[in-house]
Copies of this chain bind each other. A is one copy, B any other.
């Protein structure tokens, strides 16, 4: 493409007058600063390449704690501290899944144990695979058909949705519940088709959950093309699977969330911007959620750099243990409650470092309508969607205490290609997309700080 007449885009829809004009100028200062001088992208490179994956309880996670504290200090935070959090420790160890058909074919499948799943204790556990396409189909199966078998929950990610998070949510039940459902009918373990929008063999891990008083059988996942192949095989063959894994829970441990703030000039009530510092134990935790971490630090840096005099305390929180316990978020909420620390607002970025398209608002109608009334300020930055009514899981405890909460809504098309996989690497993050997310969070916090 060559010929362009983009005359009016930058002023698209803005009413330039009085207060709104002042805000629009400030929005522009923020975007100019971040898109030109933002450090988030290089920070993310450092975090992902020099520390990498950082599951709660790992040495790498504790390195990332020191790293985040250093970045927050360098960003100009007035105060930086670690918040103690007791976190669950899960370890993967070695794992393998092999299949053998009755016509003698044998194959090793690319797989991952699901997070928080128990393994086979390092022993081979074999059984015949039976396949179901849905939970409803599984519910109809008599227990005697499941007993001693391996259940393959082959529910496909629904590509139909323009909003991929709907497909993710629909598939979520399989990841969470497959193991206990299998155990209840006497099955040996569960294999699930990954919650993946990619047409490849990459398995997507993620947290699962055992029901109380039900045997803790293993649950593992396989990628889409592996699942396709297995489905095809099962049409003509009896297939025996052999799992050998030694993942499992290893008790609890002291860990930390990392907090940095710029103290309020008018009062000490708190505005939180955050992401989670932990990641799964595969890939580099780049989109999930290194992006949210560096974006949150960028907000503080930008307030300092531009000399914006914040009325209230603006606090960046790098939450511990979102992926397999949400203990960082819970501890943060508990501490805020115990110390009776007033929180005005909290926003999380935990849906990937893609181009921002909206802000989801979980709050009363009055606050919601006020933020929605700012839409014309955000439109030039591609942010138009303020209709969501959810917010990040780390700030759910704050929400339960009555704090208005929000989440950055980035473009959702690429996230589930790489979410919770070895492919969630720095190379998948685009500099401008990432920095535009920081820009929008900084702009929103500027408005909240000024008007609330």
Contact = CB atoms under 8 A, between A and B. Distances in A.
Contacts of A4: 165, 168-169, 172, 390
A425 interface: no
A2 B322 contact: yes
Interface stretch (A128-136, A246-254, A427-435): A427-435
A432 B411 contact: no
Given A4-B390, A385-B12, A393-B1, A380 B162 contact: yes
A159 B432 contact: yes
Nearest to A156: B36
A165 B160 CA distance: 31
A323 B2 contact: yes
Interface stretch (A15-23, A52-60, A210-218, A350-358): A350-358
A115 to B, nearest CB: 10
Given A413-B436, A436-B413, A388 B6 contact: yes
A265 interface: no
Contacts of A392: 1
A1 B289 contact: yes
B9 A166 contact: yes
A387 B2 contact: no
Interface in A137-195: 159-166, 168-169, 172
Nearest to A390: B5
A350 B1 CA distance: 5
A417 interface: yes
Contacts of A166: 6, 9-10
A31 interface: yes
Q: Find the residue from A2, A7, A323, A436 having the highest chain B CB count within 10 A.
A: A2
Interface string A351-370: 10001010000000000000
Interface string A370-385: 0000000001111011
Contacts of A36: 159-160
A206 B1 CA distance: 9
A197 interface: yes
Among A199, A206, A207, A382, max chain B CB count under 10 A is at A382
A414 interface: yes
A451 interface: no
Contacts of A7: 389-390
Contact of A9 (B8, B207, B387, B430): B387
Contacts of A289: 1
A35 B168 contact: no
Given A6-B169, A382-B411, A162 B390 contact: no
A67 B380 CA distance: 40
A266 interface: no
Given A1-B289, A31-B160, A165-B6, A355 B389 contact: no
Contacts of A162: 10, 31, 35, 380-382, 436, 439
Contacts of A351: 1
A235 interface: no
B432 A389 contact: no
Contacts of A357: 357, 382
A103 to B, nearest CB: 31
Nearest to A162: B381
Nearest to A391: B5
B163 A380 contact: yes
Nearest to A407: B1
Interface of A: 1-10, 12-13, 31-32, 35-36, 159-166, 168-169, 172, 197, 199, 206-207, 288-289, 322-323, 326, 350-351, 355, 357, 379-382, 384-385, 387-390, 392-393, 396, 411, 413-414, 417, 419, 430-433, 436, 439
- In order of increasing CB-CB distance, the 4 nearest A-B pairs are A3-B393, A5-B390, A1-B350, A384-B384
17 contacts: A2-B326, A3-B396, A4-B165, A4-B168, A4-B172, A6-B165, A6-B169, A7-B389, A12-B385, A35-B159, A35-B161, A162-B381, A163-B380, A164-B432, A355-B413, A357-B357, A384-B385
